[in-house]
Amino acid sequence: MEATRTAKILTVVGARPNFMKAAPIIAAIRDHNERLGASPHPKGGRNSHILLQNVLIHTGQHYDEAMSDRFFSDLNIPRPDVHLGVGSGSHAAQTAEIMKRFEEVLLRERPDLLVVVGDVNSTLACALVAAKISYDANGTRPLIAHVEAGLRSFDRDMPEEVNRILTDHVADLLFVSEDSGLHNLRMEGISDEKIYFVGNTMIDSLLAFKGKAKSSPILDKLGLRDTDCQNSATNGTARYALLTLHRPSNVDQRATFLNILEGLQELSNSCPVIFPAHPRTQKRIAEFGFERFFSPENGCQGRETSRSARAMGRIHLIDPLGYLDFLCLMEHAAVVVTDSGGIQEETTCLGIPCVTVRENTERPITVKVGTNILAGTSQRGIRQATRQQLESRVACAVPEAWDGRSAERILDTICQEIEKQQLLKNSSGWAESDPRTRI
Ligand code: UD1
326-348 pLDDT, tens digit each: 999 999 999 999 999 999 999 99
CA of residue 431 to ligand 1 center, whole Å: 41
Helices H, strands E: what count in the chain?
19, 13
Taking 70 as the threshold, does the pLDDT of residue 160 lie above it? yes
Model pLDDT for residues 373-424, shown as the tens digit of each residue: 999 999 999 999 999 999 877 778 999 999 999 999 999 999 999 999 888 7
Taking 60 as the threshold, does the pLDDT of residue 434 lie above it? no
Taking 60 as the threshold, does the pLDDT of residue 54 lie above it? yes
State how far the alpha carbon of 66 is from the alpha carbons of 182, 256, 277, 296, 416, in Å.
34, 26, 11, 21, 37
For ligand 1, atom 13, which residue shows the shortest CA distance? 15
Model pLDDT for residues 127-147, shown as the tens digit of each residue: 999 999 999 999 999 999 999
Taking 50 as the threshold, does the pLDDT of residue 431 lie above it? no
As a whole number of angstroms, the distance between CA 88 and CA 135 comes to 30
Of the pLDDT bands very low, low, confident and very high (cuts 50, 70, 90), residue 150 is very high
The verdict on whether 332 is a catalytic residue reads: no
Mean pLDDT for the chain? 91
Taking 80 as the threshold, does the pLDDT of residue 87 lie above it? yes
pTM of the full structure = 0.93
Q: State which of 120, 287, 339 you would mutate to test the pocket of ligand 1, scoring each by most atoms of that ligand within 8 A of its C-beta.
A: 120
CA of residue 363 to ligand 1 center, whole Å: 20
CA of residue 280 to ligand 1 center, whole Å: 7
Q: List the one residue out of 198, 262, 211, 247 whose CA is nearest residue 401.
A: 198
State how far the alpha carbon of 161 is from the alpha carbons of 167, 279, 287, in Å.
10, 22, 27
Taking 60 as the threshold, does the pLDDT of residue 49 lie above it? yes
Model pLDDT for residues 277-312, shown as the tens digit of each residue: 999 999 999 999 999 999 865 444 434 445 556 667
